Chain A
């Protein structure tokens, strides 16, 4: 009723005398747009794959039969030396623990920084609202830099080891979790904060007693999800840079034939660790969300 004051909406008016024809026309036009979009999408995908294929060292169809060649070669050799596997598991356990430690420590550090960033960058919660856009851009940038870039540069400065990987993953985690945390904090109920303000609580108390209890389950759940991602990232960083089981995998792979039992041992350890952590964090998250 009120909208009448603003006049009719822009665009063609429905034909009041023949709604069926109008509906059919609308449907046909939507189908046409959909088809054009689909054709465009398929053409892009096809030409993209063609281009990627041209710029690749090996072709797709020539490589396809080879997909299982390497795994079967590896598994065959490992099967011959299957007696070594338990010993190898044991010897690679410290590397696996290092990889998991890298993931856990970087999640903790990044999570702690993300809490600070999130509270400072949520309008309505931040003590310095003018800072929020700056902090948001910082988080965007730290999310955009791939971990590998920071890790490789830090390896040059700090030398090979787990610390560059921790810093690299922690920076990325700060950006990624900071965004999710601040979204959760913005949607929280402001009444407890107002209540605390009225009794003279300072900012720390308002956040700790008013906001934190509301968002803790959500934040913990996001943090666990990040931990799963970071375990994988830590393994990959080990492979490209140094530290943890990823590095052992690279060494074993470079050796090639003759050490495939080690490759299989590392694959299995990594697979099991990721599966166990995923399962544990899935269960914990389900409990957190359902209360």
Chain B
């Protein structure tokens, strides 16, 4: 009986440890890179307006955030590749005459759905946070 209880407790400990390991080990963001979930949302939302290449996506994020979101541009490409692999993006090469070729990314139908879902989730999260911050009396003066 005691052995069974101990083993059950052990499995519980294992579950918690595995959760900590999974959140701590494979996070793609380091230093000035983007957090994976944040970057995915940003890329999907920016591409809602139309197809863009990687440099354009990075500059658009900086422009829309009024330079509040500054990050290592190279960390954007792993996100683009992961989204392409999961079917949310499609890409092709373009080579305007006299210029270097560039890879242009566009949302697929599933990517469009993911983008809208991500926007809804962020709005809900933002509303909830505003309410909590407001409830503590830390609202900004009008």
A pairs with B: no
Point out residues on B near A: beta carbons under 8 Å: none
Point out residues on A near B: beta carbons under 8 Å: none
